[in-house]
Structure 1
Amino acid sequence: MTIKPLIILPDPLLRQVSAPVERVDDAVRRLADDMLETMYDAPGIGLAAIQIGEPIRMLVIDVSKEDEEKTPLTFVNPEIVERSDALSVYEEGCLSIPDYYAEVERPEKVRVTYVDLAGAAREIEADGLLATCLQHEIDHLNGTLFIDHISKLKRDMVVKKFTKAARNKAVA
């Protein structure tokens, strides 16, 4: 397993729509392992393949608490097929937008279809933090960031800050 470098805002790759995974094979399973290792190292609770430069529809999540046993989940070609009308608000952050957090309102529950690492079609109903995390990571696969769910003023400030930081890093 390898820890991969994270793609950071304002990298345009984060706005790319990811392509479906054609088939689950050993390369996809290795990538899932690398993604989990990268996510745990960061540390985070979710990671989309695009965040490590792989524009494919795959994500990993582990919402277990620090003192609990790890419960990693891998979703290939995930699709939200149902959303609740009820909404919930969580303070979200993103490994591709380090050290920035904002409250985001999303559907409280979702039903997601996906393919597992054995290539089997699956479905999961999620609520709470898992539902929020799934929506956040699936957004990544569609080129959407959590800052797209906050006010334009706040979003513009964050993008400006990270664009300036990237420019300064390139000059250094």
Structure 2
Amino acid sequence: MAILPILRWPDARLSTPCAPVAEDVAQLAADMLETMYAAPGRGLAAPQVGVLKRLFVMDVAWKEGTPAPRIVINPQILWRSEDTATGAEGCLSIPGILTDIPRAREIRMAWTDERGQPQDEILTGFAAICAQHEYDHLDGIVTFDRLPPDQRASAEAAYQDQSPA
């Protein structure tokens, strides 16, 4: 396994919609999990490591206890609850910046797992929020894109102020 470099915004690949996965991605997924844990994050999408494929990994429990990694290939969000929560989200591609993003508290998501098995599950709470964040990456959307113009300008300025020149 290898720790992969994580792209930083405004790299154009982070704004590019991804193609479906049609090949074996076992090694890439393993490398992405290692990279996510080392970062340390709770989710990482393939475009964040420069691979424009519909794949993400997540583990929302590992920081509080037992790791429970998920490898999510070609996901589809089939349903979102109308009940939303707005909370501070961080992104490994926009380090040091937290933005308040409204997200559905529950989603129903279908995907293929690392064994090639179809999965269909209702995710709630932080798992739902994390999955929506990573899913956005697959569509070329970063947290800045979810902000109203004035908040986006402030968040981008804060990011640029703390980035090395």
**TM-score normalised to the size of structure 2?**
0.93
Alpha-carbon distance in 1 for matches of 2:28, 2:96? 26
1: CA distance, partners of 2:66 / 2:147: 33
**Residues 23-38 of structure 1: pairs in structure 2 closer than 5 A:** 23=23, 25=24, 28-38=25-35
> d(CA) in 2 for partners of 1:150 and 1:50?
21
- C-alpha displacement at 1:161, in angstroms? 5.1
Q: Hey, what does 2:74 align to over in structure 1? A: 77
**Once superposed, which parts of structure 1, at least 4 consecutive aligned residues long, lie more than 6 Å away?**
164-167
Q: CA contact under 8 A between 1:49 and 1:59: conserved in structure 2?
A: yes
Deviations 1:77-125 (A, max 9, x none): 0110001111112210000000100221111100001001111111111
Matches within 5 A, 1:2-151: 2-23=2-23, 25=24, 28-151=25-148
Kindly indicate whether the alpha-carbon contact (under 8 Å) linking 2:96 and 2:159 is maintained by their aligned counterparts in 1: no
* Residues 43-83 of structure 1: per-residue CA shift (max 9 Å, x gap): 00000000000000000000015241111001000110001
Question: 1:165: how far off?
Answer: 6.9
Cα deviation, residue 166, structure 1: 6.8
Q: What amino acid is aligned across from residue 39 of structure 2 in structure 1?
A: A
Gaps of 5+ in 1: none
Q: Deviations over 1:4-56 (max 9, x none)?
A: 01100111110000100014x2xx01100100000000000000000000000
Secondary structure of 1:99's counterpart equals coil
Paired amino acid for 2:75: P
Amino acid at match of 1:39: M
My pick for the range that moved more, 38-47 or 150-159, is 150-159
Q: 1:90 to 1:167 in 2, by over 3 A?
A: closer
- State the identity %: 38
2:48 match: secondary structure: helix
- Structure 2 counterpart of 1:55, which letter? L
Q: Which residue of 1 aligns with 2:154?
A: 157
Are the aligned partners of 1:10 and 1:166 in contact in 2 as well (CA < 8 Å)? no
Whether the aligned pair in 2 keeps the contact of 1:21 and 1:76 (CA below 8 Å) is yes
Q: What's the TM-score, normalizing by structure 1?
A: 0.90
Q: In structure 1, the residue corresponding to 2:97 is in which secondary structure?
A: strand
